[in-house]
């Protein structure tokens, strides 16, 4: 195995995690400000629902709530335009749905293991 290969079953996730850790280490922004910037960037690039889902927990841990998300959408709307805002709103809702579905599946699995 070469030095650049990742020795596990989740090389993509591990790469994304490493990139995020490096970003956090090299930024002077606080956790809340960093998440605001990340969410605005997701909107700007028309990110898919899965990208919002991956950022939902860190955003919540940084005290970002739905009112903040709405404020972020309002703030970037003049720059990204209506279509990106509508797309982002739909993708955010779908991403939150994914997070909820995964949490429900984990809970069901835990309950089944406990039975």
Count of domains observed in the chain: 1
pLDDT of residue 17: 80
Asked whether residue 5 is domain-assigned, the answer is no
Q: Residues 32-59: what's their mean pLDDT?
A: 94
Asked whether residue 23 is domain-assigned, the answer is no
Domain that residue 53 falls in: 30-114
pLDDT of residue 14: 86
Asked whether residue 3 is domain-assigned, the answer is no
Q: What are the tens digits of pLDDT across the range 62-105?
A: 999 999 999 999 999 999 999 999 999 999 999 999 999 989 99
pLDDT band at 49 (very low <50, low <70, confident <90, very high): very high
Cβ atoms within 10 A of the Cβ of 35, count? 21
Asked whether residue 13 is domain-assigned, the answer is no
Start-to-end C-alpha separation, the chain: 42
Q: Is 95 exposed, middle or buried (0-12, 13-18, 19+ CB in 10 A)?
A: buried
pLDDT of residue 16: 82
Asked whether residue 14 is domain-assigned, the answer is no
Asked whether residue 17 is domain-assigned, the answer is no
Asked whether residue 109 is domain-assigned, the answer is yes
């Amino acid at each position: 195995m070469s030095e650049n290969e990742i020795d596990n079953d989740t090389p993509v996730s591990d790469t994304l995690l490493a990139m995020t850790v490096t970003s956090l280490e090299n930024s002077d922004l606080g956790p809340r400000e960093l998440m605001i910037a990340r969410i605005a960037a997701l909107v700007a690039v028309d990110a898919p629902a899965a990208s919002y889902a991956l950022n939902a927990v860190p955003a919540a841990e940084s005290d970002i709530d739905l009112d903040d998300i709405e404020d972020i959408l309002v703030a970037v709307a003049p720059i990204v335009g209506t279509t990106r805002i509508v797309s982002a709103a739909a993708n955010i809702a779908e991403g939150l749905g994914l997070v909820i579905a995964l949490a429900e599946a984990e809970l069901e699995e835990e309950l089944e293991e406990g039975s």
